[in-house]
Structure 1
Amino acid sequence: MPAPRVEIRDSAGIRIVENPRPAEGSRLAWRIGPEPLVSIGVLEGEEAYMLYGALDATRLSDGRIVVANLGTNQLRVFDASGTHLENWAAEGEGPGEFTSLSRVEPWPGDSIAAWWTRTAGISVFDSDGNYGRTFRLGGNDEDPKWLALRPQAATKAGSVLATWRWRDADTIVVHLRDGEGDLAASLGTHPGPDLHWADLGNGRYRTWEKIFGRRLVHAPWGDLVAIGVTERYEVKAFRDDGALARIVRRQHDLRPPGPADVEAHIELVVSYVPLGLSPQEKERYQEDLRRELGAVPVVEHLPALDSMMVDALDHLWVREFESPADVRPGILWTVFDPEGRVLGFVETPEELNIYEIGGDYILGHSADEFEVESVQLWPLDRRPAAEPG
């Protein structure tokens, strides 16, 4: 399949890459295996394999898999075949311990960085699980905006991509913080969520995001940081000094949401019910929620994209937005090369929430019909398909 025609130009030192949309129904020759090579997680069995709140995972250079298991606030370590080896850290507030563990990511020197949500503390461990240090993102207790500063991702260079949004503001500030948590560069202020304030009466209000409203998405991209807004197919890439280096666009036709899209979205939101409700309470909760959501404004166009991530070879993967009313057998991504030129579509298993994409694997999370969690490693073959004959 010939590569799509890409237009590249420079404007005031900024590289602008204009991409066409890959042909409808086309796919890159890259192949994802029909089943996972490794699956970690059981309904019953040894406690180490029973996952609860496995919010993230990463793979070390020797093939070991480290899982951030929120249910026990542990880093659970498995060998390349999925056999449990040991646990790193534990629940608590001491050195190398966690509360509300949420993320684990590679850190320079084959180390890992893990963080938890309550205080945005970031702890570093070496490849043998030895605790090194903990740091927090900068600021001080007298400046309350820093209480909202949250780590989002670690870069290859050992800095932290972080964001903060002041209360119900519709803008988001993006920072690069260094390995001590101090400000390395500001990447500017970007559009945040589209908000709607619902009047509940008696002076009470509830804040909703508008239906299909915009979100900010971001990911470290080689020595750059990619930032986009879901309402348009455009990604801006910033250098580590905060300067804009590249703008990548892809052709996209705007589509207004129809009644089926809105109804499916509302039903999806309503399907998430707090635990512990009786059947009557659940029904009442869902009825109230449907009524409130029915009054939330709907934006003019469906999002252009859903999310993005970057693989180990610095390819940018942009997940295509899919309305909950649409039916697709897998998850569709547009893949761009390290310079921002479109390569084509790749489809990943629908049930897999991807944590990490390596050179020859995809690591992610899945849950079955009984809500049994598993962390899975799927093979990824980037070689062109062999010619027939």
Structure 2
Amino acid sequence: MRRFPCRRTATAAFLLAATACSEGGQSGVALPEVPTFEGTIELEIGDVDGDDPYLFSYIMDVVADELGRIIVADRNSAEIRVFGPEGDFAFHFGGPGEGPGEFGDLCCLGFAPGGELWVRQSARYSVFLLGSDGAEPQRVLRTPHPGQIGLMAPFTFDMGGNLVSVGPVSGNGGASLDARFRVLPDGAVDTAVMADAERQSVSQATVPFNRAGMSALVYLHQPFGPQWIHAHANGGTWADAVTSDYAINLHHPDGTVALIEGPALEGPPLSESDRDWAQTRMESELDRAGIGRHPFQIPDRKPPLADMFFDSGGRLWVVRTLAAGESVRSADVWDGTTLVAHYRWPSRIRNSPTPWATESALYGVTADTLGVQRTARVRFERR
């Protein structure tokens, strides 16, 4: 087995505003005292056996409407199931197919400003109006990302109600970059790359691959290295950051950018199982690329930030990285550039690709030791 060296790595975030640092490179920012909200799992929907609506194959996404109904996208059945606020099954719709009320595949769910449910698939978006006992298809919109199969990426709507779909574009050298595709009423698409290649590809390198007349790029990654992350809200606001630094660019609809800056944080150390996984992944990448030396090393610690997302009220949740064995996940919640709350909830909640949260609840997925998935709702109360 090849052994990869371990060392600390530091990656600079390329910010649009300068960060304030004290002597020694530590941020001088201290977060203000704000309320803390503790979350507990109050509802789980799903079972090992029983009625079909409660048997999930693989849950792709979960959202909730203004009535508190819970809407779940199930991949293998290619259908969407709607449950009442207390978990009682209401109705389902979809199923595999190419018709206006059917799905080729499923990714993500979201609501337009008018309350319509949008369903993202590889080839198209399907739009539905949810009633009390069924869903009425409204229209179908071709995806602005033709040829992309199995794309897992968020979508939102701008201030005018136009679809903003996140997806890849080809950059220099053939490497892909993430961009925001705004679909205008006349069908034209306004495309904006969200960050330069250096920022988007942090902890990532490419090498050319040539075998049996086939040419391609092979992507190599630093396991547990810093990652470029982004989040999107209805209305046109979005944010991006590099997970090694608590410094977040908040992009406003008018094109201006504000900086959310938190304290200097040290991520949790890697466990032995983390190191074993990292070495296995790097060996696999070397074999796939046909090269003898990996461009990255295994870091001593994980980045301090894990993820971020906007809730239904437009607040940004900045989720911190869990240490091995920790049972509670935590997030700092920002309204614009003002910290307004800390939230904590059980770590066994798995976020869907586009997490759905409100001021008092968060929706996600749990799985037991048998791999049986359930839709879950966390309820928050001020501590």
The reply to whether residue 332 of structure 1 matches residue 345 of structure 2 is no
> Do the aligned residues in 1 keep the contact of 2:39 with 2:343 (CA within 8 Å)?
no
Q: Which runs of 5+ in 2 are unaligned?
A: 1-15, 21-26
1:196 CA displacement: 4.0
Match of 1:220 in 2: 232
Distance in 1 between residues matched to 2:139 and 2:242, nearest whole Å: 34
TM-superposed deviation, 1:169: 5.6
Contact 1:332 / 1:346 at 8 angstroms: preserved in 2? Answer: yes
Partner of 1:126 in structure 2? 129
Tell me the C-alpha RMSD between the 2 structures: 3.9
Q: Which digits, 9 at most, give the CA deviation of each residue in 1:256-312, with x for residues without a partner?
A: x96x55751542796xxxxxxxxxxxxxxx997498699642266742411101122
State the SS of the aligned residue for 1:298: coil
- Counterpart-to-counterpart distance in 2, 1:44 and 1:148: 28
- 1:24-44 C-alpha deviation (Å, 9 max, x unpaired): xx98431323x32x2111100
**1:166 corresponds to which of 162, 165, 170:** 170
Shift of the 226–125 alpha-carbon distance from structure 1 to 2, 3 Å rule, reads same
Q: Deviations over 1:190-226 (max 9, x none)?
A: 4223334579997898533222233332222463111
> Displacement of 1:327 after TM fit?
2.7
**Native 8 Å contact 1:125 1:131 kept in 2:** yes
Match of 1:108 in 2: 113
* Aligned counterpart, 1:230: 243
Structure 2 counterpart of 1:209: 221
After superposing the two structures, state which structure 1 stretch, 340-349 or 100-109, moved more.
Answer: 340-349
Deviation, structure 1 residue 50: 0.2
Distance 1:363 1:232 in 2: 27
Aligned length: 340
Percent identity between matched residues is: 17
- Give the deviation of 1:49 after TM superposition: 0.7
Q: Distance in 2 between matches of 1:95 and 1:216?
A: 36
Amino acid at match of 2:144: G
Quick check: 1:149–1:164 contact (8 Å CA) kept in 2?
A: no
TM-score relative to the length of structure 1 = 0.74
Shift of 1:251: 1.9
Q: 2:36 aligns with which of 24, 29, 37?
A: 29
Separation of aligned partners in 2, 1:198 and 1:171 = 14
Number of the residue aligned with 2:258: 246
Partner of residue 374, structure 2: 374
1 CA distance for matches of 2:73 and 2:278?
A: 27
CA shift in 2, pair 1:345/1:292, >3 Å: farther
Tell me, yes or no, if structure 1 residue 192 matches structure 2 residue 192: no
Q: Residues 266 and 105 from structure 1, CA distance in 2 versus in 1: closer, same or farther, beyond 3 angstroms? A: farther
Deviation (angstroms), 1:373: 0.5
Offset of residue 170 of structure 1: 5.8
Q: Normalization by structure 2: what TM-score? A: 0.75
Change beyond 3 A, Cα 1:299–1:196: farther
| Unaligned segments of structure 1, at least 5 residues | 1-11, 271-285
Retained in 2: the 8 A contact 1:160–1:179?
no
Partner of 1:72: 77
Taking a change above 3 Å as real, the CA distance of residues 345 and 364 of structure 1, as seen in their structure-2 partners, is: same
Cα deviation, 1:129-185, whole Å, max 9, x if unaligned, reads 11111112437x7xx8x8898752223743324131438866624214136564346
Shift in CA distance, 197/66, structure 1 to aligned 2, threshold 3 Å: same
Give me the whole-angstrom Cα distance separating, in 1, the residues matched to 2:369 and 2:278. 17
Q: Which amino acid aligns with 1:154?
A: T
